[in-house]
Structure 1
Amino acid sequence: MENSKQIATRFKEVLLNGQWIANTNYKDLLSNTTWKQAIIKIESLNTIATLAQHINYYIAGVLNVFEGGLLEIRDKHSFDFPPIKSEEDWSKLLNDMWSNTEKFATHVELMSEEKLQGTFVDEKYGSYQRNIEGIIEHSYYHLGQISLIKKMIIVSQI
């Protein structure tokens, strides 16, 4: 289970508490983002809120599999979300994201090496480990986007 604990730590670093790779994480960056900043649209870029919802969509979808459910998420729906219209909507999204992240990490920590190397839902998706690492990499990719969009918003508000 040492491998699973290391992977869970990497997952928590990008989402909850790390500074090593990007010098920030989702929780630090988004907790210091107002809902009004989160919904600002800059040209053709996604909003911060949309990118946060997108990452949470994948975490929640894979978590559902970890908890015995089906893989119900689809790439074609991964940007289809109701708009964030208030501080309450933004807080709910963030609270859901942190909760899903904690549950996801706990499942990963408890995975045996056999489970990590086992098939995730269908052979075409590869192993559990491949999918978990894919979420980590995908999360860093969008964390970089969020960080840059936030800097653009702050500069435009000066």
Structure 2
Amino acid sequence: METPLQLANRFREVYLNGEWVVYTNYKTQLSETGREVLIKKVEDLNTIESIAFHIHYYVHGVLNVLEGGTLDISDKYSFDFPPTKSGEEWKSFLTTFISDCEKFADIIEKMSDEDLDGDFSENRYGSKRKNINALIEHGYYHLGQIILIKKLIK
């Protein structure tokens, strides 16, 4: 089983600073992508911006639980976000997204194995470790989509 530090570093790999698995991460992909690409619709695919909102929705929701709050997210609302209206609005979102990811990784790193194996919100949702791993896997899934959408746009 992974230690808290190993799990935190796996989270950082996909969201903040990694280049090992897919040679990139969310912070790099979203920071280096121009607004016209972020909001460009390709056939019936989600926009890169809407995928970023979607993945942040889960990071923020799980972070809230790890900080001692309640589970307030629902799959049915995970794509319900209006598009940004400007580059400044996007930059503000991206700053929040990155900040939440940094907090998330720092919290994981400081957890004990017992904390990680404890219930996530309620027993029916499994352990915190299981939910963190799911968020990492979910992150890679959508990061792959972002990479493919960018290739389709070019």
Normalised to the residue count of structure 2, the TM-score between the two structures is 0.97
Q: 2:121 matched to which residue of 1?
A: 121
Moved over 2 A (4+): none
Q: CA contact under 8 A between 1:35 and 1:84: conserved in structure 2? A: no
Q: 1:90 matched to which residue of 2?
A: 90
Matching of residues 4-83 of structure 1 within 5 Å? 4-83=4-83
Shift of 1:11: 0.2
- Determine helix, strand or coil for the equivalent of 2:3: helix
The 2-side partners of 1:92 and 1:124 are apart by: 35
- 2:140 is the counterpart of 1:140: yes
Deviations 1:36-62 (A, max 9, x none): 210101110000000000110000001
Shift of 1:33: 0.5
Q: 1:107 matched to which residue of 2?
A: 107
The 2-side partners of 1:138 and 1:108 are apart by: 17
Deviations 1:108-131 (A, max 9, x none): 001100011111111111000000
| Count of residues in correspondence between the two structures | 153
Query: 2:132 corresponds to which letter in structure 1?
Result: I
Shift of 1:75: 0.3
Q: Percent identical across equivalent pairs?
A: 56
Query: 2:103 corresponds to which letter in structure 1?
Result: K
The 1-side partners of 2:125 and 2:10 are apart by: 21
- Determine helix, strand or coil for the equivalent of 1:84: coil
Structure 1: which 5+ residue stretches go unaligned?
A: none
Q: 2:131 matched to which residue of 1?
A: 131
Normalised to the residue count of structure 1, the TM-score between the two structures is 0.94
The 1-side partners of 2:130 and 2:69 are apart by: 19
The 2-side partners of 1:152 and 1:12 are apart by: 27
Shift of 1:152: 1.2
The 2-side partners of 1:130 and 1:67 are apart by: 17
CA RMSD in angstroms, aligned pairs only: 0.9
Shift of 1:82: 1.5
Q: 2:152 matched to which residue of 1?
A: 152
Query: 2:62 corresponds to which letter in structure 1?
Result: V
The 2-side partners of 1:109 and 1:74 are apart by: 26
Structure 2: which 5+ residue stretches go unaligned?
A: none
